[in-house]
Copies of this chain bind each other. A is one copy, B any other.
Amino acid sequence: MLGDCLENVRKSAPLVHNITNYVTVNDVANVLLACGGSPIMSDEPEDVEEITSICGGLNINIGTLNKRSIEGMFLAGAKANELGHPVLLDPVGAGASSLRTNTALSIMEKIKLDVIRGNVSEIKTLAAGSGTTKGVDADAADAVTEENLDSMVEFVNKFAKETGAIIVVTGKIDLVSDGERCFIIRNGRAEMSKITGTGCQLSGMMTAYITANPTNKTEAAAAAVCAMGLAGEIGYERLQEGEGNSTYRNRMIDAVYHMDGDTLNKGAQYEVR
């Protein structure tokens, strides 16, 4: 089933409009191409509505936001809503500054979101309406663990119901919930956190997955999480002696490039509650 979601991306080659940070944007573009999608980046308010109109989905990432790009996010989001395009929000650094927290909350209020994908600290900040996080990485104290798994599943289910969005929390254990069902995913490797932008890459790729699977978005989001985690596992196995995080980044995207539905079906590690 998850493999079908992947194959639908390759078949339909969805065009994804990304308003994203300048730190990881190149990797987001390459992972979108690797998975079978096609990326466009545009953040200028005067440009975004037309660009969104020719795309299939919209990926809003608030890392390195500025006032001009924030305006672009709202305009693009409104246009995507008007056209019925799926919209994903990646609230990078929500909780780390008022501007980021408030921008994310305001986007949630004014734009109908299909998916909100972040680390656990960011998602908790959004659920609480405020927060303090240690930068762009999740606080260790917030982590989803086997011990707190039941309560975390309950938390994301509740937040999904409240927002009407699929909630995706990524970390050692990943959760994907639409309020009714929660995918609990155990793919990936800890070393992925030593590559900048694996979260941003996942958000870009996930936008392609939900765009290519419009009637099946929860599975599509879960498939994207499994595919990225599995690519992290495959890429890690392929590392040669002496290779570190920079080459690992390439090998991970390379693994996305070669992944097919069968590989994903065999490698996906998840349960549904």
A contacts, CB < 8 Å to B: 15, 21-27, 29-30, 33-34, 38-44, 46-47, 50-51, 54-55, 63-68, 93, 96-100, 132, 134-137, 194-197, 234, 238, 242-247, 249-258
On whether the beta carbons of B247 and A243 are closer than 8 Å, the reply is no
- Given the interface pairs A15-B134, A43-B66, A100-B47, the reply to whether A195 lies near B24 with Cβ below 8 Å is no
Q: For residue A238, which residues in chain B have a CB less than 8 angstroms away from its CB?
A: 242
Closest to A133 in B: B54
A118 CB to closest chain B CB (Å) equals: 15
On whether the beta carbons of B33 and A196 are closer than 8 Å, the reply is yes
- Given the interface pairs A50-B97, A244-B256, the reply to whether A196 lies near B40 with Cβ below 8 Å is no
On whether the beta carbons of A244 and B249 are closer than 8 Å, the reply is no
- Given the interface pairs A42-B97, A47-B97, the reply to whether A195 lies near B30 with Cβ below 8 Å is yes
On whether the beta carbons of A26 and B197 are closer than 8 Å, the reply is yes
